[in-house]
Each structure stands twice: as structure tokens, then as C-alpha cells.
Structure 1
């Protein structure tokens, strides 16, 4: 399950992307990981003043980073955003015999075609300027959503295809001084950290889908987790120690506090 909101527009890349190591990338600024025992909020639907005690906030790249906390910039890097299919060159959209291949859970989002080096570079030509914008805006890190499109591509894409693009995007993040978060693909976390050079993970519903250990075994305390919708299940997962310490319960549309649908809960303090 992936809950995402935000807009994006397409730009051209004018510089070469270099793959770099995490944490202290050669040739780029040192990156800073989220604090251990972080208190997170996930604000992709609307940006608002973080609740008291929150130390990590994720927002869409079109929003400003939150003041005084560790700020993560959201990018939909492997699919299009809803309503923006026409903004992407047609040759970068994965297609079936019936036309563009859409995410079955998010019909407005078409999968990007990462199957060749030429296409991956063309995608990077669009996404890397967004990464640089995140850095210039003052974010500390970037998350690349939909890393797992190969699992719903009908065999047209492979893990290796997305790993190759991920390396380029992570390298660009490190060059800009940003830490890079793995998003999705829990089963491939170790390879993504070791070969993709991702620095930490953002998981969605890892307790609901029994994926928390897959992230924690690789990234330790540097896992930020978002659960949705069920306060009883969230409380049980908190009490059972089945989630990362940095876990938050949010409403699925990630609305602001003045909306009646707003949900924000944290695990009770020990």
C-alpha cells in the first residue's frame, strides 16, 4: 500500500549524475541520517505545524521543509503523479498492448519504463533536478517512492532495472548532501542498502504486512514507519514491539489537523 499526494512538473538535467557512497560521499557533502528514536509525522497530503515532540517530518517536494526538525522530501520517482501522464515523454511510460500500464492501486499513476540504460538516464534527467530543488529548499533527505514497480509490471521490468536507476538517484542525492530513503521493496532491503547505497528506510504499514523485520534487520533504528487507519491494531503493534520505534498512525489521505478525517497517533511512551 502506498499513500501519496503531491504535484510534480518536468525539468531537464544539465549535469552528469555520479554514483556516490552513503553517509560521507566522495565529492559531495556529508549526509545526515534521521535521529534514532525519532518521533515522525507524515505530511504528504497537507503541510502543517508539526505536533509537539515530533522530530522527523516528510513532505511533498512542492512544500517547504518543516522548521526545526529533520525534513524528508517526497518524490514519486518510479511512477507518474495522478493527472501528469502528459508531462512525461511517451517513450518513458511503460506500455502494454492496451496502452500505458497503470498501478492497479493508483489508476492515475503510470509506471515509468526503467528497462534500458537510455530510458533510465532520461528518467534521471527529469528527477535529479527535483532532488536538487529539495536540497536547495533545505530538506535533509529524500524518499524515492514506488521502487517496487517491477513487482507489478507483468515481467516487463526487473529488480535490476530499478536498482540501476536507484543508484543514480541515490548518487544525486548524496552529491546534493541529502540522505536517501528506500521506499517499498522490503524483501530487497539488504541489496538496496549494500548495492543501491540507500541510507535508511521509510516503510508504510510494515506491521500490517509483517514487513518491519525486513527493514529493521538491515537499517536498525533508522526506519521511519507509517501505519494507517486502525488505532486498535496500531496500539497492539506498539505494545507487541512489532514496529520500528519511529512509527506513526495517520489517516490515509494525510489531511491537515483542521480536517475531520485527521488522524495522528504515536506509540505510548515506555
Structure 2
């Protein structure tokens, strides 16, 4: 290559680089954040906080709870649906409704779905949820677990995967601005888009039971936390991933220790 062409090539590369920077959303405002350690002792305490068992270094707790002192804490937020009894805390038009005006409900948990169909509504929902995320940061949490990413699969085809992803990008951007890592909760079919959606690790329920753990590790490497609810699921998860991932079995209600239904086992 001649010196002239080399100079022209370098100039073109510099121009392209400047253009690329201009076209890329600024991350200057994002604070430093760190995903949870991999293959760590983990406890899932979203149903009620209690003293973590020996060997646990990572805990997930509901946003209403205080983080566990000295551990890596993940703040659980019901980001796509409404906790039972809290419907009046939301503007009525932000509850997803069918053609007859009836609120669409996740029948398994009795939770109303949030309406994410337009940018304007996503912005309004995100404003509320992001205030919770800020609250998690204030309390001392290091990461966010936004639940029900897959609400679109229960929406009677009213919501789409694109709606869910456009919304979660609003949450991930805010979490990062607060210095918090943010998880993809379940929804293995969207794991391949984790980078575009700004998601740092995965929290996968029953990926052992349904033989889906590999779908998450293909996208997140070993940055995957697994919660199983059956002996079979735990056995499968431990057999395939016990030396790489953070794995725990809990009871379905995620009861606090000391409750009659409490179950906690590990590999």
C-alpha cells in the first residue's frame, strides 16, 4: 500500500470511528457495576428474608427487604406484572386489557399484566419500576432481578417479545446508571439478545427440570443462577452444571426458613 493510500485509509478509519461513537448511545453516565460471582453459594429468599445458610455468598431478596450484610445481594422486582392487591397503585390504563376491557391476569399467580404495547406506556411503567430500582441501590443491593420478562407469553397475544425487549432496555439502562447489574429472568428464547438488551447475567427457574440450562449458558456463559423446585430438576441441574453454575433447590413458595413448607437443597 502506498503512503498516500495508507494516510487516506487511516483518515477514513478515524472518520468511521468518530461516526460510530456519535451513533452509539453514551455510556459515560453509567456507574461501574459487577455481575454476581459464578458458581457461588446461592440462596433464593424472595418469599421472606432470613439468615443465609453457611457457604452462601449471593442472595436474592424482594425489594421490600434489606440486603444481607457482607454478601452479594440481588434485588427482586416484579417488573412486568402487578403484585396481587396492588392494582390500585397503577394508573388504570397501564393494566393490560383485552378487547372487552377485562384486565389480563397471570392465572398461576393472580397477577395483572402491565400494558407495554406503546412507547408512551413503556416509558410510564418504566418510570415507576425504575424508582424501585433506585430504591434497591439506596438500600445497598448490587443487582436487579426483574421478574416476568416472559409476560408476553401469557398476554393472549396482546404483547410481543419486541414489546418486552423495548421495555427491559429502559430498565437495564437505568440499572447500569445506578451501578447495578441486571438479570434476564427466565425467557430462554430471548437469551441470544442479551447484549442488545443490556442484560448481564441470567436467573433461570427450572432449567434443569426442562433441560434448558444450555440455552442460558450459550448466551451468558457461567453467569447463570439456577433455581429448581423438584428433586428431579435439582439432580439434572447438578449433573450437567454443578461445577459451573450457582444452583439451589427451593420450595415453590420460596418460604422463609422456619416455615412449614421450607425446602432448600444444593448440589
For the criterion TM > 0.5, the same-fold answer is: yes
Kept in 1: contact 2:38–2:244 (CA 8 A): no
User: Given the alignment of the two structures, is residue 103 of structure 1 paired with residue 106 of structure 2, yes or no?
Assistant: yes
* Equivalence for 1:246: 246
Offset of residue 231 of structure 1: 2.6
Aligned-pair distance for 1:62? 0.3
Higher relative contact order (CA 8 A, sep 6+): 1
| Aligned residues of 1:20 and 1:174 also touching (Cα < 8 A) | no
In the TM superposition, residue 233 of structure 1 has moved relative to its aligned partner by 4.4
Query: Any unmatched runs of 5+ in structure 1?
Result: 1-18
Residue of structure 1 aligned with 2:135, choices 129, 133, 136: 133
**Per the alignment, do residues 154 and 127 of structure 1 end up closer, same or farther by CA in structure 2, a change over 3 Å counting?**
same
* Distance of 1:127 and 1:239 partners within structure 2: 37
Task: Report Cα offsets for 1:60-111 as digits up to 9, x if no partner.
Answer: 00000111111000000110011111111111011111610001212x2011
More helix by share: 2
Match for 1:93 among 92, 95, 101?
95
User: How far apart, CA to CA, are the structure 2 residues paired with 1:236 and 1:203?
Assistant: 14
Q: State whether residues 212 and 242 of structure 1, in contact with CA within 8 Å, keep that contact through their aligned partners in structure 2.
A: no
- Distance in 1, matches of 2:87 and 2:146, equals 18
Contact 2:152 2:158 in 1 (8 A): yes
- The Cα shift of 1:232 comes to 4.8
After TM superposition, list the pairs within 5 Å mapping 1:92-171 onto structure 2. Answer: 92-96=94-98, 97=100, 99-106=102-109, 108-171=110-173
Alignment pair present for 1:188 and 2:194: no
Contact 1:225 1:243 (C-alpha < 8 Å) held by counterparts: no
Q: CA deviation at 1:237?
A: 3.7
Answer yes or no: is the 8 Å Cα contact 1:205–1:226 preserved in 2. Answer: yes
| Superposition map of 1:189-208 within 5 A | 189-191=191-193, 193-208=194-209
1:28 CA displacement: 2.1
- Of residues 47, 51, 66, the one that matches 1:49 is 51
Residue 264 of structure 1: aligned partner = 264
Q: Secondary structure at the match of 1:64?
A: coil
Query: Are the structure 2 counterparts of residues 243 and 102 from structure 1 closer, same or farther at C-alpha, using a change threshold of 3 Å?
Result: farther
Distance 1:201 1:237, change over 3 A: closer
Task: Provide the C-alpha distance between the structure 1 equivalents of 2:250 and 2:44, rounded to a whole number of angstroms.
Answer: 7
Shift of 1:125: 1.6
Contact 1:20 1:175 (C-alpha < 8 Å) held by counterparts? no
The answer to whether the Cα contact below 8 Å between 1:206 and 1:243 also exists between their aligned partners in 2 is: no
Aligned partner of 1:34 among 29, 33, 36? 36
Aligned to 2:222: 221
Indicate the RMSD between aligned Cα atoms, in angstroms: 1.8
TM-score by length of 1: 0.86
